[in-house]
Amino acid sequence: MPTALTGKTALVTGGSRGIGAGIARELARQGASVALTYRKSREQAEEVVAELVALGVKAVAVQADQSVPHKASTAVEEAAEFLGGRIDVLVNSAGVAVMGTVDQLDQDLLDGVQNMFATNVMGTVVTTHSATRYLPDGGRVILVGSTVAERIPTPGVAAYAASKAAIDQLGRGWARDFGPRGITVNVVRPGATDTDMNPADGPFAATQVAMTPLGRFGRTDDIAKAVAFLASEEAAFITGALLTVDGGSSI
């Protein structure tokens, strides 16, 4: 039985783990063929691919270090070739987080911050630029941001928040740029979400839950369903939006 994305193709960066993997699974459940990128763990990526194939769609994992422009660009080309030369839905999910207050910025931490901006911001720019030739008119671009782009709840997240604030503005600006082609561009902004980077039983979990009216961490499915909606025809007149999915923690 056809579903919302039957016959569509999607590229999900950072799709081998966490929120990215959840998004890849949901798009596959909705019928899309999926290419996903991973940075290090091919085995983990192939496990996700096997799950997607079991859902009855085509899927492939492509290695890419988003912080290196030519590698990010090459990954898009490889994904597009697998997907038949067309990327209907581009989801920029790959990202890293480096925490620390400004007075703690030794050389190692500064290097980490530089890599974070190269990955989170420039990686998103290069990937989207490279995908432009494969995006059909009426396609979808979805960026995964964060609620910290707007509201900083704890010390030590300023640099990460700045990288995600850049994502918000890229999404808004690209909505203008792509508008004449009917391509929508939106940002999904998760709050605390249960992943290996921020587990629901981690040392900071209780504080995050206490700030959330719904009283729990988000699940990757919560984020993935929002992305799938924005990828669907039902969202054809939504562009330049910042969709917050955080259980109300940023109220």
Q: In order along the chain (251 residues), what is the average pLDDT of each group of 10 residues?
A: 88 97 98 97 96 98 97 98 98 95 91 97 98 98 97 92 98 98 98 86 86 93 98 98 95 85
Cβ–Cβ under 8 Å, residues 158 and 97: no
Domain region containing 170 = 9-245
- For residue 78, tell me if it sits in a domain: yes
DSSP state of 57: S
The dihedral through the CA atoms of 60, 95, 124, 234 has a sign that is positive
Token representation of residue 149: 């782009």
Q: What is the CATH number of the domain that holds 170?
A: 3.40.50.720
Q: Which of 134, 160, 174, 217 is catalytic?
A: 160
Task: State yes or no: is 160 an active-site residue.
Answer: yes
- For residue 198, tell me if it sits in a domain: yes
* Domains: count for the chain: 1
Sort 47 into a burial class: Cβ within 10 Å, 0-12 / 13-18 / 19+. Answer: middle
- For residue 51, tell me if it sits in a domain: yes
b/e string for 54-76 if b means 16 or more Cβ within 10 A? eeebbbbbbbbbbbbbebbbebb
pLDDT at 197: 81
- For residue 1, tell me if it sits in a domain: no
Sort 156 into a burial class: Cβ within 10 Å, 0-12 / 13-18 / 19+. Answer: middle
pLDDT at 195: 87
Token representation of residue 66: 């988003």
- For residue 4, tell me if it sits in a domain: no
Phi-psi region of 53 (alpha: psi -120 to 50; beta: other; left: phi over 0): alpha
Among the listed residues 227, 125, 146, the one whose alpha carbon sits nearest the alpha carbon of residue 184: 227
- For residue 190, tell me if it sits in a domain: yes
129 forms beta bridges with none
Task: Compute φ and ψ for 122, nearest 5 degrees.
Answer: -65, -35
Cβ–Cβ under 8 Å, residues 227 and 27: yes
pLDDT at 201: 85
pLDDT at 175: 98
- For residue 13, tell me if it sits in a domain: yes
Beta strands in the chain (DSSP E): 9-13, 33-38, 59-63, 89-92, 140-144, 184-190, 242-245
- For residue 130, tell me if it sits in a domain: yes
pLDDT at 119: 98
